């Protein structure tokens, strides 16, 4: 087991009656806030009006950056940074899903730079230690952005989608009311849930001896919660317990509590970010198509015991004496989960993706080296996994 430091300063308000605390959290930083939001879901479900009223009742002047795209563009974040500089914004308030929160983080980081261009930070691989404070109101259980250091920003001109990280990007406060995700369409519920699931599986589940039993069991509990509650949320969108389990699972998956002592991988994420950079697909769907194939590709004598355990602990499969047999059953369960339970299309071909860019994507995903994980992946490996997804 490796040594670790755990420090997450995000203050989370969770539950139904939490919004009364929004003004006090914003006022810690000043009276001018920039509200960042997406394509209008928050106007339909009333959250927009709630935030506006709370702010006007408490002397907070609200500026707005709307229209954040799923897979948020650097150009949109730059527009927000410009507003911050011009208006002297004190705090950036994200209201939405991961794309909105990520864009708000990009705004916050770019706003304190001379150029005001977030892509300068992204392309330089800057670790952001200075930014305007970000407060997040979450409406989609998925990315973990509400409690993590990452902002994933897309540059559609160069077909690049890259994570910008930094301690200054952790929201200072996050508001998580499961009711705000009641209006989430079934497809986004499925994609978001699979994103949560894959954060655990992809990032640290196969850390081997680097981690310890308590953490491993907690990781499995989060994946099990997704398996248990996503079908309920899809069938009954207003089931509070289902939405609450998914929302807290979203925050747990990437707030670093589950990666204590582990080593990190990110194979599926590195491969998926190329897909959404080139084809603008939904992140969780790309992950669902890749994940069972990745597990199949990395299955060998050394990985079979851990994959087999994953099947038993997460999908409730019967334990088998033969690890390879157990691992194959686990992979089959992963296929069933992605394409039967979640009902997602199972191939890249069905999303209109062919092999045209596979080589370039594979090389970019490996960033001049290999993708680390339970099996390190070279560009040749990545290309083969993409081909398995056709
Ligand atoms: O734009 P609006 O109108 O709000 O609609 C959104 C969008 O169309 C809609 N939506 C969100 N909450 C809703 C709702 N519709 C109805 N009711 C609600 N309550 O759902 C659509 C997708 O929203 P989006 O924010 O794009 O989804 P998600 O939360 O899955 O975020 C995806 C982005 O986050 C990145 C992904 O790559 C992708 O760009 N990620 C960020 C990470 C991070 N910051 O740590 C890690 C992840 O691995 C991921 O890469
Ligand atoms: Zn993800």
Distance CA 368, CA 283 (A): 23
Whole-Å CA distances, 301 to 106, 322, 323, 375, 388: 43, 11, 8, 12, 21
Secondary structure in 3-state letters for the chain: CCCCCCCCCCEEEECCCCHHHHHHHHHCCCCEEEEEECCCHHHHCCHHHHHHHHHHHCCCEEEEECCCCCCCEHHHHHHHHHHHHHHCCCEEEEEECHHHHHHHHHHHHHCCCCCCCHHHHHHCCCECCCCCCEEEEECCCCCCHHHCCEEEEEECCCCEEEEEECHHHCCCEEEECHHHHCCCCHHHHHHHHHHHHHHHHHHCCCCHHHCCHHHHHHHHHHHHHHHHHHHHHHHCCCCHHHHHHHHHHHHHHHCCHHHCCCCCCCHHHHHHHHHHHHHCCCHHHHHHHHHHHHHHHHCCCCCHHHHHHHHHHHHCCCCCCCHHHHHHHHHHHHHHHHHHHCCCCCCCHHHCCCHHHHHHHHHHHHCCCCECCCCCECHHHHHHHHHHCC
pLDDT category of residue 301 using cuts at 50, 70 and 90? very high
Minimum CA distance residue for ligand 1 atom 40: 143
Ligand 1 atom nearest to CA at 276: 37
Instruction: State how far the Cα of 108 lies from the Cα of 135, in Å rounded to an integer.
Output: 10
pLDDT at 211: 85
Ligand 1 mean position to 156 CA, how many Å? 17
The total number of residues written for the chain in this structure:
390
pLDDT band at 193 (very low <50, low <70, confident <90, very high): very high
> What are the tokens at 205?
């589940």
Atom 44 in ligand 1: which residue has the minimum CA distance? Answer: 145
Query: What average pLDDT does the segment 25-53 reach?
Result: 97
| Protein residue with least CA distance to atom 3, ligand 1 | 39
pLDDT tens digits for range 337-376: 999 999 999 999 999 999 999 999 999 999 999 999 999 9
Residue 91: per-residue pLDDT: 98
Backbone angle region of 126, left / alpha / beta, with phi > 0 → left and psi within -120 to 50 → alpha: beta
Q: Is the CB of 183 under 6 A from ligand 1?
A: yes
CA of 192 to the centre of ligand 1 (A): 8
Instruction: Kindly give the number of the ligand 1 atom that is closest to the alpha carbon of 191.
Output: 30
Picking from 330, 294, 316, the residue whose alpha carbon sits closest to that of residue 202 is: 294
The answer to whether residue 264 scores a pLDDT higher than 90 is: no
Instruction: State the pLDDT confidence band at 297, using cuts at 50, 70 and 90.
Output: very high
Q: How far is CA 15 from CA 178, 244, 247, 256, in A?
A: 7, 8, 10, 22
Q: What average pLDDT does the segment 135-146 reach? A: 98
What average pLDDT does range 54-63 have in this prediction?
Answer: 98
If you average pLDDT over residues 67-93, what whole number do you get?
Answer: 98
152: CA distance to ligand 1 center in Å?
Answer: 11
Q: How sure is the predictor about 265, in pLDDT bands with cuts at 50, 70 and 90?
A: confident
pLDDT at 65: 98
Residue 97 CA: nearest ligand 1 atom is: 25
* The ligand 1 atom nearest the CA atom of 149: 45
pLDDT, average across residues 13-21: 97
Compute the distance between CA of residue 70 and CA of residue 189 in angstroms, rounded to an integer: 14
Q: Are 346 and 339 in contact (CB under 8 A)?
A: yes
Among left, alpha and beta (phi > 0; psi -120 to 50; other), residue 83 is: alpha
Mean pLDDT (whole number) for 55-76:
98
Ligand 1 centre distance from Cα of residue 2 (Å): 33
Q: Does ligand 1 have an atom closer than 6 angstroms to the CB of 99?
A: yes
Query: What percent of the chain has a predicted confidence (pLDDT) above 70?
Result: 100
Whole-number percent of the chain with pLDDT over 90: 96
- State the Cα–Cα distance between residues 266 and 106, nearest whole angstrom: 22
If you average pLDDT over residues 233-243, what whole number do you get?
A: 98
- Return the structure tokens found at 341: 């339970």
Looking from the CA of residue 39, the nearest atom of ligand 1 is 3
Q: Does the C-beta of 255 come closer than 6 Å to ligand 1?
A: no
Strands 32-37, 61-65: pairing kind: parallel
pLDDT in tens, 91-116: 999 999 999 999 999 999 999 999 99
Work out the pLDDT band at 324, boundaries 50, 70, 90.
very high
**Which of 64, 106, 188 should be mutated for ligand 1, with most atoms under 8 A from CB?**
188
Instruction: Give the burial class of 146: count Cβ atoms within 10 A of its Cβ; 0-12 exposed, 13-18 middle, 19 or more buried.
Output: buried
Q: What is the pLDDT of residue 208?
A: 82
Contact 142, 113 (CB under 8 A): no
Asked if residue 166 lies in contact with residue 121, where contact means CB atoms within 8 angstroms, the answer is no
Look at residue 1 and tell me whether its pLDDT is greater than 90. Answer: no
What's the mean pLDDT when you consider all of the chain?
97
Instruction: Answer for the pair 224, 314: CB distance below 8 angstroms, yes or no.
Output: yes
Whole-number Å distance, alpha carbon 199 to ligand 2 midpoint, is 6
Residues 200 and 255 sit within 8 Å (Cβ to Cβ): no
């Amino acid at each position: 087991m490796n040594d670790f430091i755990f420090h997450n300063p995000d203050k989370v308000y969770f539950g139904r009656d939490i919004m009364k605390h929004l003004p006090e959290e914003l006022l810690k930083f000043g009276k001018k806030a920039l509200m960042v939001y997406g394509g209008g879901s928050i106007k339909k479900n009333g959250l927009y009006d709630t935030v506006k009223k709370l702010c006007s009742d408490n002397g907070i002047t609200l500026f707005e950056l709307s229209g954040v795209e799923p897979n948020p563009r650097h150009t949109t974040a730059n527009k927000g940074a410009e507003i911050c500089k011009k208006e002297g914004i004190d705090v950036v308030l994200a209201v939405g899903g991961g794309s909105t929160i990520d864009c708000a983080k990009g705004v916050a980081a770019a706003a304190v730079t001379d150029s005001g261009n977030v892509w300068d930070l992204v392309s330089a691989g800057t670790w952001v230690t200075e930014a305007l404070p970000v407060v997040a109101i979450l409406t989609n259980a998925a990315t973990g952005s509400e409690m993590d250091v990452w902002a994933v920003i897309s540059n559609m001109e160069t077909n690049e989608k890259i994570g910008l990280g930094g301690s200054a990007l952790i929201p200072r406060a996050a508001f998580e009311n499961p009711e705000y995700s009641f209006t989430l369409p079934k497809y986004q519920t499925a994609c978001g849930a699979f994103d949560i699931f894959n954060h655990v599986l992809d990032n640290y589940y196969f850390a081997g001896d680097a981690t310890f039993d308590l953490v491993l069991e907690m990781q499995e509990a989060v994946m099990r919660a997704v398996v248990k509650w996503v079908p309920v949320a899809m069938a009954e969108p207003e089931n509070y317990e289902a939405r609450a389990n998914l929302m807290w699972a979203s925050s747990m998956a990437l707030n670093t509590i589950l990666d204590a002592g582990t080593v990190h991988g990110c194979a599926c994420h590195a491969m998926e970010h190329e897909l959404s950079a080139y084809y603008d697909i939904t992140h969780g769907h790309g992950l669902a198509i890749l994940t069972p194939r990745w597990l199949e590709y990395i299955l060998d004598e050394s990985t079979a015991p851990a994959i087999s355990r994953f099947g038993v602990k997460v999908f409730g499969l019967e334990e088998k004496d033969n690890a390879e047999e157990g691992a194959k059953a686990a992979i089959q369960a992963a296929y069933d989960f992605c394409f039967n339970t979640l009902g997602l299309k199972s191939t890249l071909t069905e999303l209109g993706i062919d092999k045209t860019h596979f080589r370039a994507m594979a090389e970019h995903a490996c960033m001049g080296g290999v993708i680390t994980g339970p099996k390190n992946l070279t560009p040749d490996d990545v290309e083969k996994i993409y081909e398995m997804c056709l």
